Amino acid sequence: MRMRPTLSWTPAAEHLLPATTDLEPVVGALGAGGVLVLSGAGISTESGIPDYRGEHGSLSRHTPMTYQDFTADAGARRRYWARSHLGWRTFGRARPNAGHRAVTAFGRHGLLSGVITQNVDGLHQAAGSEGVVELHGSLARVVCLSCGAFSPRRELARRLEEVNRGFEPVAAGINPDGDADLTDEQVVDFQVVPCAVCGGVLKPDVVFFGENVPPRRVEHCRELVRESAALLVLGSSLTVMSGLRFVRQAAQAGKPVIIVNRDPTRGDRHALARVALPLGPALTTVAGRLGIPLGDGTGADDH
């Protein structure tokens, strides 16, 4: 029997950390330097990209595509690419917010040892952060499951436009993975294109639910945790193990873990503090206390 991936969790009372609005733990950790940032969907909500599990999280109305369904079912791939093609038009226009710009500013002032993001939106890089580890990949790339060739998402978007002229359905919403909410009737005539190199099946270069993060990427992240002085989690519920394991690693090594997330997280029991404040304003305040100016918000590149 195929098991569905973990999408939610129910916190036990003994594992909850009382929330605070005191930003001093964040200021203190960043002031000391060597901080590794682990970001999740919550840092991008102020850019118009919804999160999965917050108050208005997409999981309340949307079940993400799993790797098993995508690879096994041509109909599932048609639904995914139709919805993702429409979502890309909106998703690709998102721009970095104050939270992304603050992370970039912290890095440029030498306070960070690295940035790991669970997001696939490229907004940290668009804000100017360098050396970002994309734990779950990037929607800006496409990979062929047969020959392994990579190609830009914008090229695939052009090809899909050519074979699906007039595809203009109205979506009920956009999800954190760039997937638009469409009905089966709205996608029934959508045409999928094959790999331009070998004719194989194309997949976004992202880690789907039910798919494993590449081992070398995981080990690279573990090394970043080992080299860091503290771990700062920004906008992640830490529900899935892909991010939670780094929190556990840091805590087991005696490194302080600080979480900025408005809702309880699965990593609260390992944290020194959980600050329950909106990320953009909170990180802007932290930057101000550290005397660090933020950028103008224009971004560093076109993601």
Q: Which active-site residues does the annotation give?
A: 136
Q: Tell whether 129 is in a known binding site.
A: no
Phi, psi of 16 (to 5 degrees): -85, 140
Q: Tell whether 42 is in a known binding site.
A: yes
Q: Tell whether 56 is in a known binding site.
A: yes
What's the rounded Cα separation, in Å, for the pair 137 and 253?
27
- Side-chain-side CA neighbours of residue 214 (13 Å): 10
Q: Tell whether 50 is in a known binding site.
A: yes
Q: Tell whether 279 is in a known binding site.
A: yes
Q: Which of these, 4, 1, 16, lies nearest to 266 by C-alpha position?
A: 16
Q: Tell whether 46 is in a known binding site.
A: yes
Q: Tell whether 43 is in a known binding site.
A: yes
Q: Tell whether 54 is in a known binding site.
A: yes
Give me 48's structure tokens: 């118009």
Tokens 């804000």 found at:
127
The CA distances from residue 149 to 120, 138, 201, 205, in Å, are 19, 15, 11, 11
Q: Tell whether 49 is in a known binding site.
A: yes
Give me 243's structure tokens: 């991010």
Q: Tell whether 44 is in a known binding site.
A: yes
Q: Tell whether 40 is in a known binding site.
A: yes
Q: Tell whether 295 is in a known binding site.
A: no
Give me 4's structure tokens: 């569905």
Q: Tell whether 144 is in a known binding site.
A: yes
Residue 175 burial by Cβ neighbours in a 10 Å radius (0-12, 13-18, 19+): buried
Give me 136's structure tokens: 């779950």
37's CB contacts (< 8 A; 6+ apart) are 103, 106, 112, 114, 115, 116, 232, 233, 234
Segments in the chain forming alpha helices (H)? 24-32, 67-72, 74-91, 98-108, 123-126, 153-163, 184-187, 215-227, 241-252, 279-289
Q: Tell whether 237 is in a known binding site.
A: yes
* Residues making up the binding site: 40-60, 118-121, 144, 147, 195, 198, 235-237, 279
Q: Which residues are annotated binding-site positions for NAD(+)? A: 40-60, 118-121, 235-237, 279
Q: Which residues are annotated as a binding site for Zn(2+)?
A: 144, 147, 195, 198
